[in-house]
Each structure stands twice: as structure tokens, then as C-alpha cells.
A and B are shown apart, each in its own frame.
Chain A
Amino acid sequence: MTSNPALAVNTRPWTDPDAKPFISIRNITKRFGDFTAVNDVSLDIYRSELFCLLGGSGCGKSTLLRMLSGFETPTSGKILIDGQDMAGVPADRRPTNMMFQSYALFPHMSVEKNVAYGLLREGKSKAEAAERAAEMLKLVKLESFARRKPHQLSGGQRQRVALARALAKQPKVLLLDEPLGALDKKLREETQFELINIQETLGVTFIVVTHDQDEAMTLATRIGVMTEGVITQVGEPREIYETPKSRFVADFIGSVNLFEGRVGPSAPDLMRVETEDLGPVSVPPVPGLTQGQTVWLAMRPERVWLTREPKEGAVNTVPGIVRDMGYVGHMSSYLVRLANGRQVRVTQANESRRDNPISWDESVHLSFEPADFRVLTQ
């Protein structure tokens, strides 16, 4: 590992406060008329990162990407790439390349010519460009398709041509707009790992825009969750999932049960939260909370214990009735109704062939480990 200098350095530069960001987005705002698409976003991205901007449609993630590529001009704020201010630099002179959601392959050119297009534009000779194009096509395993036109390729092949074309100029940053959006599920999963491999081989900084949280979780070194023009949380996939900072992020990434409550008396190792749905609940103490403050408790469905008898030694337990159940194969998901009518989502891994799985209308008990609660204030 140490023989590879790229890996010898810190692979998580964002944990190092002295690390120099490769791309620095500072207080970027973009307005279209009255509509603010991107609102005062600041973000640092490091060299060789695979950064995912994750958000629903209209959250501003694509606009942010288009400002990086130079297709949109920020209303205010600054973008630095490798220390260079991008203000006034047109798209055709930026050290970025983009892979378009629609791939935007030139329909009148062969695969080979598509890949060589950018190289010819930077003044490479035809022979040089052809050689480099062949190299790129080999990287994406499309050598034998060089002479074909885009319409003679399958969706997955086109996606790889688009990738090869965007990478051919060795950009400092590759921007990918929903790179896997047009592929079917199976192909998407295969391509995700291929994309990671290529990124790791070339060491190019990738910024991926996606609305698909699974895709973001699989691909990203870090994720930036966007909503309404604002990045609400930036972090590694695990961090985003395990310690979301807000109800929005908790709900957006994966599935979650949220219980509203008030902070009660707190002991040194446990804090009480009075909730309407679960009654008093014990959670690990959170510093900085005042008694009586409204908080939300986030609980992932897979962390809930679902048992027929009350779980022994459990601190937080409530009874309920199974209202609905779905068998997915590797797991089953349940909807359990509590005494006050509140429905709680629970999933259970089907680790073995159970003879007598919990089913509809059974009386059950839900138990919650205090440490599995995430206390949210916003």
C-alpha cells in the first residue's frame, strides 16, 4: 500500500483541518428571476474525491454542477478549482469535463470520433487523438465498438462512451449528472463499481449529482445532501446515515421513524425524553439541551427489536399490533400500530428460515436500544 504514493497520503483529507481543498465553492448563489436555485452554498472538495451531491428534483444540485462546468454563471460567490478562480472562464476553457445525463453523444460521429472530439479541440494531432481515444475505449471495454454510431449501441454502452469521452481530456474534475439514471437496476449496480474502479485507477476528482440515495451511498467518499438550494449536511455515507443532523436528512437517506418529544430530567448516563407515541424514553444524554425543549427521536426501522414477548432487560418497550407486513426475501418489513394509533416501521432480516414468522394482526412488542436513537433538534 505504501508503494502507491497516491494511497500513502491521507485518504480522508476532510478530517484534516490543514488539508487544502481542490475545489472550493464559496458562498455561491444562483437566482433565476425570483427563484433562488442555489442559496449561499459553500463547499470544499478534495483531490481524488468521489463527491456526491444528493437531493430531490429541483433542489439545485444540477444548477450547482452547471456552475462548476461553466454553463451557468453564479449570481454571487466564487468557485476555485485547483486554486484558480473560475469567474469569467467559459465552459470550453475550464479544466472540467461533464458526463451528461442524456449522454449527449454526437449522433453523426462514430464512437471513436466522439471520444476524440475533445482531444482534437485542444490541438492534438489526429493520430495522437485516435491513439488516446483507443486507450479510453479500452478502459471502458468498448474497443470493438469504435466504428459504431451511438444509435447502434445499447444504453449501457452509450453510458460508457460518454464516460470515455469525458475522461479523454484528463480533466482535473469530472462532473457526472445522474450518470446511472438511464440504466436499469441490475446494470446500474454493476456500473457503480466499474465507475469506482475507473475513478480510483485514474485518480480524477469526481463530482456526481444524483437523486438516488443508494447510488450516492455506494459511490461516494462523501455526500452533500441538498434541499431547496442549500446543502444541509456533508459527510461520509456512514456519518450521514448514522448521525443525520436534521429530520430532513434522516428521512431522506433511508427510512426512519421520527418521534416528537420533550426533554425530561437527565441522569449522567441516560436522558429521558417524554414522547406522546412511546411514553417516556431513555436515550443517551445530549449536551446543550435544556429541559422542556422539543426534540425529535430518529429510529431506523432495522434497529427496532420486534418480539412476541417483551424483550428481557430492554429499557424502552412498547406493545403494538402488526397492521401490515411485506416479505422482500432477504428481509421483511412490518408496520406496527401502537396503542395511540401511531404506526411504526420495522424491518427484520430473514437470516434463517423461520418456521413461525411474525404475521398480520399479531400482538407484538417493540424494543429500542437507547444508543440507537438519534436526538434531533431541527
Chain B
Amino acid sequence: MSEPMLKAVNLQCERGDRILFQGLDVSIVPGTVTRVEGPNGAGKTTLLRILAGLNDSYSGEVLWCGEPRAWHREAFHRNLLYIGHRPGIKPLLTPLENLRSLTSVRRPLSDESLCQALDGTGLHGYHHAQCRSLSAGQQRRVALARLLVSDEPLWILDEAFTALDYHGVAGLEQLLSDHAASGGAVVITTHHDLDLPGMHRLRLGAGEASHEL
């Protein structure tokens, strides 16, 4: 098994006076999909935000390629694609403009390949409509179009399946498997019944966590 690209050691996080998790170890290895599971309020989103570097209120260590993440902030962010609850889509911009502004700061791409990515998520014919006129599922698809043009090896996706229809779910599952097969890693939370071959499960809940492989 290859080296973990992202590793968290002895994580502890409190919210209010409640301990969400403690003594939690997470290893994200290239070529795997890790699903974070647990009931509502178990700290799934918090864990994902900690792994993505958005939440600093934790104790423990997070390592990127074996070294403390803080030493490699730029490299870490260049290799991470995070899509949260709020997917980062501006309602006043069109899908194409949104996708361009999200990707151009990481890897400039031609409009042609951006349009292809939007078509690939089933947004053909909507490239130039403002996103506020699109449905929730369509807006989610705009955000997910980033996955199609991504060169980041680490994907952290919070509730990525929300509002997607049947075909969208199947397409995304395929995308996740393909990404893992090509050497990437995915960390995902979902209430959707996701079961990919070889998927890792990380269970959170009731203040303690077990990492089942």
C-alpha cells in the first residue's frame, strides 16, 4: 500500500461543551474512496472542514505527504479540491463564468474544455443562463463540473449527492471510481446509499470513532 497523502493523527474536536470526536486517526491513501459516516451532528462536516484546512479549532496533527500540513500550505491547496455544503456558485454568474472563475485560479483552461465539462454534467444549453435561474440540482452540477476538469489528486466532497437525480448519482459514482483508479483519493460524506468496491468507511458518532477498513 502506498504512502498516505493526507494523514490526521489523534484528532480531537469539541463543539460547545460536547466532544465530537477524540483520538481519531485518519489516513487518506491514493487510489481509495473514504466515506465518512455517522448520524446527524456526529461531526462529519466538521471533520471534512478540518481535513480541508478550513477549520482550525482542533487538536492533533494533520500531515500532508508525511510532513505537517502548515509547512506546505501552497502545495496542499494546489492538490486539494473541496466542494462543501455551499458549493461556491455565484447566483448572478452563468455556469460557464462560475466554472471559469473557480478553475482559472488553479489551472487556466480553454472555454472549450470548460463547456465540455458542463455538457458532461448534463448542463448543455444552460451555459449562458444565470445560475439563480437554475434548479438546486443543476447548480450542484455546475460545482461538480469542476471534478471533470480537475487535476487535483485529493477530493473532499461534503454531501456531494444532494439534489442530484438518478443519472447524476450514477455519473458521480463512476467519476469517483475513475478518480480512485487513476491514483487520486476521495473523502466523501453522503446520506445517499453509496457502496463502491473497496471503499473505506470511517464511522463517527457518540464521541468515539472507529476506522473500519
Same assembly: no
